[in-house]
């Protein structure tokens, strides 16, 4: 679940997709897998530069003479010396085909490579959406794609199920199942009956049982949007090229690999050529010696010691140092007729090998042929079918949130200190006496509501909280509510001063807001409706040290503004022109060393204000 092309073969418990750690090393065994030999092949032929290890005790290769572009095939992610990288795995067969194409056509365009390498190929499969993100990543090394689970709808024993067969790369399966179950328990969406992990040795399988009548499309879309059934993957293709970290597109990555492989083959060929020439020198020395065997033996017998024998052979018969060393250390059985013929055959073969090696070093086309042949051999041996499906467009997830919420009648309580709770009609009907509140607190709002309604909570800092009723904690009548800041985070010095229960945002109601420094505004109720409500939203832009004193949604036509020093100002509220939700409003009353303490809407027929 981490690599397409596994480099280390582990026997024993190697952990799992559920985040389980591997067993202690005394219970496991590890060996290099077969494909790892392709990364290490020819390491002993001076193909790469070696450098001292961390404590200078040993030499280690600075890079491996890899026979395939492992950086693209297995990908990588991590942070080193301040440089982060995130390269996804790709299909080995596709990457090798693209490399061969790039060797044949060094000036080919990105479109040509995109026809070969479709995109990332994750070991966990899944579906990748967003071809433009892949194009961006392959062009400049940075891009974003969506990775989603492979799911299907199944009907078993009359019950609808969502079955997940593949999940996004690097997602913890156990956490994913727990998250879906938490959504079921918290009733964030109705319709989920049970969640089970039925994964076994035959493959991954997560089953979500649905309740009768549940909309399977809505449930699936909700899970895709709110769990790791769908995640975004961000490419950041940083690699070290010639000791320099660089952000590379796929063409540059392939070119860097081809340049590396060319250098490996050249160095290996030079190494093989040197050894072949040495063997040829020895073979030719042996053949020459056989032709003058009696003189050679006589010369050796007349010499004082081994060193003197070598000198005499070089001086008298013009043998080389290597040939003379071979002759004086020769075992007598080598002089049999069979061995002489074998050396003759070896000499012929060595001449052919040397000719072939020299051709590789002098002919660019032959060098390319060797490179392509080695790549094809790796492809033939290790290529596997693509696991991840690629789709060009990103599917937009639309969720009709209203249809997900079960309609239930309830009571909503709001207190002066900002505590709120939702009470079922059953609990409210069975209860006696006042609702539970903190000492000194009192209820400022008691609403008959439905779970489809919305509660607006206004603060003294000119903000409001948009709280769908179904998201308010459901408690009993005699239980203390939760503070509004537990639902939507507000500043410690911010206070809830007013609440409005809204059943329909599309009516012609207005909300009138008055501040302590004498500003007033009217805004249409429909402007308070939002889709995102995870933080406080502005409803009146205040000057420094100003505070909201009054919020009113009454349809009464007149307003009476009262000040601390006992002044009042009364006029028709329609004289205040409606403004946008984030405006500061207009001046409500002229103040002189004074401040507004209340603003009340009323009718001419009202007995009291």
SS3 for 15?
Answer: coil
Q: Report how far residue 602's alpha carbon sits from residue 609's, in angstroms, rounded to the nearest whole number.
A: 7
Q: Is 420 buried (19+), middle (13-18) or exposed (0-12) by CB count in 10 A?
A: buried
In sequence order, the β-bridge partners of residue 412 are 422, 447
Q: What is the DSSP letter of 334?
A: G
Say if residues 520 and 497 touch (Cβ distance below 8 Å): no
SS3 for 552?
Answer: strand
Dihedrals phi, psi of 434, to nearest 5 degrees: -75, 160
* Residues marked as catalytic: 27
Q: How many residues are recorded in the chain?
A: 609
Neighbouring CB atoms inside 10 A of 309's CB total: 19
How big is the chain by its Cα radius of gyration, in Å?
40
Dihedrals phi, psi of 605, to nearest 5 degrees: -85, -10
In sequence order, the β-bridge partners of residue 90 are none
- Assigned token pair, 131: 């071809």
SS3 of 28-54: CEEEECCCHHHHHCCHHHCCCCEEECC
| Straight-line distance from the first to the last Cα atom of the chain, in angstroms, rounded to the nearest whole number | 71
Q: How many helices (H) and strands (E) does the chain have?
A: 15, 31
Q: Which residue has tokens 């329609």?
A: 574
Q: DSSP string covering 381-432, please? A: HH-----SEEESSPPP----HHHHSPP-EEEEEEETTSEEEEEEHHHHHH--
Provide the strand spans (E) within 42-199. Answer: 50-52, 59-61, 76-80, 83-87, 127-129, 142-148, 150-156, 159-166, 192-197
Q: Is 85 buried (19+), middle (13-18) or exposed (0-12) by CB count in 10 A?
A: buried
Q: What is the H or E stretch that residue 586 is in? A: strand 586-587
- Assigned token pair, 95: 């990457």
SS3 for 177?
Answer: helix
- Assigned token pair, 115: 């026809």
């Amino acid at each position: 679940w981490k690599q397409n092309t596994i480099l280390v073969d582990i026997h024993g418990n190697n952990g799992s997709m559920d985040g389980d750690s591997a067993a202690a090393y005394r219970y496991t065994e590890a060996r290099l897998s077969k494909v790892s030999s392709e990364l290490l092949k020819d390491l002993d032929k001076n193909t790469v530069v070696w450098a001292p290890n961390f404590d200078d005790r040993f030499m280690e290769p600075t890079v491996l003479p890899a026979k395939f572009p492992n950086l693209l095939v297995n990908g990588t992610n991590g942070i080193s010396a301040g440089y982060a990288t995130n390269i996804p795995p790709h299909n080995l067969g596709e990457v090798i085909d693209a490399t061969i194409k790039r060797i044949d056509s060094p000036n080919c365009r990105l479109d040509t490579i995109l026809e070969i390498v479709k995109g990332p190929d994750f070991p966990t499969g899944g579906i990748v959406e967003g071809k433009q993100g892949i194009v961006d990543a392959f062009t400049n090394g940075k891009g974003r794609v969506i990775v989603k689970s492979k799911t299907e709808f199944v009907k078993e024993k009359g019950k609808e199920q969502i079955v997940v067969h593949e999940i996004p790369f690097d997602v913890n399966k156990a956490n994913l199942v727990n998250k879906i179950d938490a959504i079921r328990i918290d009733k964030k969406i109705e319709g989920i009956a049970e969640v089970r992990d039925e994964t076994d040795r035959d493959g991954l399988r997560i089953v979500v049982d649905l309740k009768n009548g549940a909309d399977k499309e809505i449930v699936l879309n909700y899970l895709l949007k709110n769990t790791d059934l769908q995640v975004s993957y961000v490419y950041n293709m940083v690699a070290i090229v010639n000791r320099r970290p660089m952000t590379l597109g796929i063409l540059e990555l392939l070119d860097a690999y081809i340049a590396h492989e060319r250098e490996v083959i050249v160095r290996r060929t030079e190494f093989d050529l040197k050894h072949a020439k040495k063997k040829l020198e020895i073979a030719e020395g042996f053949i020459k010696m056989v032709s003058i065997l009696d003189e050679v033996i006589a010369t050796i017998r007349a010499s004082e010691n081994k060193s003197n024998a070598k000198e005499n052979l070089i001086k008298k018969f013009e043998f080389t140092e290597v040939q003379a060393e071979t002759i004086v250390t020769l075992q007598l059985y080598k002089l049999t007729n069979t061995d002489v013929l074998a050396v003759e055959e070896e000499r012929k073969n060595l001449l052919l090998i040397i000719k072939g090696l020299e051709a590789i070093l002098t002919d660019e086309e032959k060098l390319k042929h060797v490179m392509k042949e080695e790549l094809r051999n790796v492809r033939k041996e290790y290529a596997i079918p693509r696991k991840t499906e690629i789709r060009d467009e990103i599917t937009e997830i639309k969720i009709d949130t209203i249809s997900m919420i079960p309609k239930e009648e309830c009571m909503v309580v709001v207190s002066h200190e900002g505590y709120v709770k939702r009470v079922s009609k059953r609990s409210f009907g069975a209860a006696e006496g006042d609702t539970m509140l903190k000492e000194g607190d009192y209820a400022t709002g008691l609403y008959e509501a439905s779970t489809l309604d919305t509660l607006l909570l206004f603060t003294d800092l000119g903000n409001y909280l948009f709280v769908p009723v179904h998201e308010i904690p459901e408690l009993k009548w005699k239980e203390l509510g939760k503070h509004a800041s537990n639902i939507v985070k507000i500043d410690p010095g911010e206070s809830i001063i007013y609440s409005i229960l809204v059943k329909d945002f599309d009516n012609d109601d207005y909300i009138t807001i008055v501040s302590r420094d004498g500003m007033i505004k009217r805004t249409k109720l429909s402007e308070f409706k939002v889709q995102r409500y995870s933080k406080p939203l502005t409803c009146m832009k205040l000057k420094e040290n100003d505070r909201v004193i009054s919020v009113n949604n009454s349809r009464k036509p007149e307003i009476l503004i009262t000040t601390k020093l006992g002044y009042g100002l009364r006029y028709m509220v329609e004289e205040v022109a409606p403004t946008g939700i984030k405006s500061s409003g207009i001046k409500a009353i002229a103040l002189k060393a004074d401040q507004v303490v209340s603003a009340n809407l009323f009718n001419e027929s009202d007995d009291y204000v």
